[in-house]
Structure 1
């Protein structure tokens, strides 16, 4: 190590600059267990991000080889600190939460269900300005989202908890990140109610009636559904008119004979005078030289299979009669099988699935550049990894 030569107070401008050199000068054993530069830099960025979220009143700037990785404004607004770390687009999709009781005071921001990540690293829980890890508090956050999230997806959350220091035991782990909290069940219920109340105020499911009103104001012609029996086999799709139609029945005209009756009788007499030629007949058991693999002994089985294919119905969806709608989301119809409740969202997904399943095999070589490019924002840790 080194020796302290002098220690005197000195006036410095506002702010702190930390310079670290020869970090493992007298601890070479720790240098041996260091990971790659990218992994260690990612840990440093994560620590600075947690500190920036814990203290939004302090402006943080992290540089690496002259490249800026993190920068916060230091205005004291937590939403601006989130925008500086995760991007402006992410900050716009965060909703504020707030709740309190006699022992705890909870505040912060959580993301809408549409904004998710693939791991739990984007959940930041702070107790009195210190970042901690607590499994039960994380489970309380996931419980509120429930089925609003897809499997394997996690929300973004920054939750600040102010408690009496006597209610928290920080001497559980050497890193001081794992904290044992007294009245932990009451704190979990407080977090659940705060997140649930904030998400309840948001319009998470678009209203179908509102979308219909918007589309009607655009002046677009409304498509009329063609009423056709489902067991029709003479249907065809017109790509120009974007609808299904029934093939018109063929009209047979009276065919007039090209020759008169006298001429036909003469030709008939002439044909009778010609010698008849006997044609050889092949039995059903004889094998075909061109199609040697065909089994003529199972002719009855093949005939039965062809009859089944001919009699197979073209559609198994029952004929329904629509009679109502609820909450702009569910459709009610009746049929021979009883009452049918159709989810419009699921039905739309099915229609799109059928559409793209047919279009996926079509190769289109036409390319077009975007008029306005898409901008994707990533945090410093995502950029490094």
Structure 2
């Protein structure tokens, strides 16, 4: 890695940590999750419970049949099932139950902070009021802080397969609830829907003082990352694994410390990489990029945060304690919290590795 270690652990101390200690450290170390779609944390068991509670008929006989359908060939094949699963979310309690289930898992994985994506258009298109969505999610966020010790914030995402006009309408509907979310993002089908399609609505979001993030460079080309930076002024790039195809872009991302919220198990499940041994997160770190590990849509992609870390490091023995430490540190650096809070988490991270 060329990125400097910014906290108290020196490279020599990290190199002294025995490889067999890594799996435990990966689980124990505090971390932030900055790329989690809350609708993508909806487990099949909860989908069926909510369907029964709300009288929704699903096109699957049972939990096993639904889970067996999770054989995706690309992003779109996943999204088709993702939107079907979301159909059971109708009431404020449903959104609370979904978010609370995720936040309990996050706490168990030593996630100290989560910046959670939600897709209001997925729900408002079905007649579910924006107010129902945001109030259920916000209730879970506040309860998690009080009862689980997990800090969490919400980021509203626009669906890029829909029009910019529809994104503007969603933004207007959201404005009365502006204090419940900290930023906006761009997700859904990437290919054929470049960031430039949403330039005007993101300009309006910046005027409102919202943080800006955008999915780019997962299935889409490096040019989409450039558009997200230049036209949307995105503060983070969600995914960004294809950035290595453009050396000038890599140099730019490294110089600016632009965060890349990488999702290893997701990338394999959606056939971006054949398997975890082929994943390029180590190369991203070695190029000096501010990459970190996230779970994306964990109910569909086979693992929450710790599962992503443990499976990635098991598949790539060249990844060491230095990489693990840097990934966690990067997640704090990239979060939308103040410097004092970042230092608190950094000290906790140091303590875990010092004991390792």
**Per the shorter chain, which TM-score range?**
under 0.3
Q: Which has the higher contact order (CA 8 A, sep 6+)?
A: 2
Q: TM-score, normalised by structure 2?
A: 0.26
Q: TM-score, normalised by structure 1?
A: 0.24
Rg larger in 1 or in 2? 1
* Higher strand content, 1 or 2: 1
